[in-house]
Amino acid sequence: MTSDASVSTYSQPNFQLKMSKAKWENNEEVRIFREYLRIPSVHPNVDYTPCVEFLKRQAASLSLPVDVVYLRSEASPVVIIKWLGKQPELPSIILNSHMDVVPVFPDKWIHGPFSAHLDDEGRIYGRGSQDMKCVATQYLGAIRSLIADGYQPRRTVYLTFVPNEEAGHDGMVDLVKKDYFKKLNVGFSFDEGIASEDETFSLFYAERTVWQLKFKFGGTAGHGSMLLPNTAGEKFNYVVKKMMEFRASQVKLLEEHPNLDIGDVTTVNLTRIGGGVQNNVVPASLEAYFDIRIAITEDLHAFEKQIRKWSAEAGEGIDIIFEAKEDYAEPTKIDASNPYWMAFKQGIDELGLKTRVRVFPGGTDSRFLRHLGIPALGFSPINNTPVLLHDHNEYLGADTYLRGIAIYKKLIASVANVLAYTTLQS
């Protein structure tokens, strides 16, 4: 839960990197970022080949070894770049990002969504400019700068570029099951965050539990002129009303407690309705689909019990089908018991960044790592910027992008030098 205590009092560093458009265009790091943005790795039917080739070239430019691991098929590659540490026996650090981006509606964009257009104000337009190709190339830029400084991390650092994060399958969820991943001996993970519209930077230490379920209501069918008993519509109405009443209670929580974020409550949304054959026929069945993101403070067993109770109260002939039912993932500890957190926080403090610790409102690959007991933090070094992930006209300022490289340079070096030996939890 976010509180005033989670907002640090450190002032933002003076990263004044204002340039003319020509200098932005000629900046090597900006050029690399824009090249990645121009690859249309967009759903559905993503072709990851250009991404893989781009990342191989980046690895070669850094003189770092690269592997490509295929998950369920050659259509779902994972690219892993290895930066060897001085003590490779220590648990490693992974810098994770996903290669895929969500669909676009080109007619809604003022510049082509895969043009990486750079305007006179330094705004770089492109799908993935915030979510999250920026983070991927910022990792690379930070490592490029550290290598140029002659720095070698104590722990081995792996950059993992996964597919299908936006689709929710054939990505990190499958990678963590492979022997290849187990051999990486991962101790800590960086992953994406969300832009902030004010001067603070958001740090995400946990995610809500994702459930997606379908209610299938069976009942008496017949002519629409009758008042038949035990209809699917009556049961539908009862259950949907209960679900929406619970939703309203969460809206009220946010209204009454301004210190809470959307990630601190449970969201319930009716997303699809199905059933019926024609207007004058009472249907034998109806369906209702819900997307539910459960707050980390909610008891999952009690919540499911409540849903089943509402279903039983509505009558017989109701099936509850879970199309997604994730287990609870223990939040990453943000205290002195977690040496990675302490190193990360030290880096943040030394940079003088104002931060806000939050629960991520959506889902990222971090949850699959937390399920294994691997601590993970979500962080995108983007502030004073409109939140445009999945939106039309997604962009990131060139100044903000370059400042993010400097921030990651500090944070990666801090975490990769952690001394304490932390092993995977069983």
Enumerate the active-site residues: 100, 165
Buried b (16+ CB within 10 A) or exposed e, 32-65: bbbebbbbbbbeeebebeebbebbeebbeebebe
Give me the long-range contacts of 115-118 (CB less than 8 A, separation at least 24): 115/38, 116/33, 116/34, 116/35, 116/37, 116/38, 118/21, 118/24, 118/25, 118/30, 118/34, 118/398
Classify residue 367 as left (phi > 0), alpha (psi -120 to 50) or beta.
Answer: alpha
Tokens of 70: 């295929």
Q: How far is CA 27 from the centre of its chain?
A: 28
Q: CB of 77 within 8 A of CB of 48?
A: yes
Rounded Cα distance between 225 and 58, Å, is 69
Pairing of strands 222-223, 376-378: unpaired
